[in-house]
Amino acid sequence: MSVTNADAEAHTVTADDGGAFDVTILPGATAVFTAPTTPGSYAFSCLLHGNMHGVLVVQ
């Protein structure tokens, strides 16, 4: 899976379970990480900005 950061600040995409995935995306960059293969919903957040969060859905 790839994630693009169009912001001027770095961000992370870090699974709330602490282990499914964790990637840092620098400003203006794209990062690639291995998403879980087991179907389900995986909550994630940005470790640098506590108000940024979402859910990755694997079908």
Assess whether pLDDT exceeds 90 at residue 53: yes
Query: What secondary structure letter does DSSP report for 36?
Result: P
The dihedral over CA atoms of 36, 23, 11, 29, expressed in degrees to the nearest 10, equals -110
Strands (DSSP E) along 1-59, which ranges? 2-4, 11-15, 22-25, 30-32, 40-46, 49-58
Domain boundaries, the chain: 2-58
Decide if pLDDT at 3 tops 90.
yes
4-50 pLDDT, tens digit each: 999 999 999 999 998 899 999 999 999 999 999 999 999 999 999 99
Predicted local confidence at residue 18, as pLDDT: 82
Side-chain-facing half-sphere of 48: CA atoms under 13 Å = 11
Q: What is the pLDDT of residue 30?
A: 98
pLDDT for 33: 94
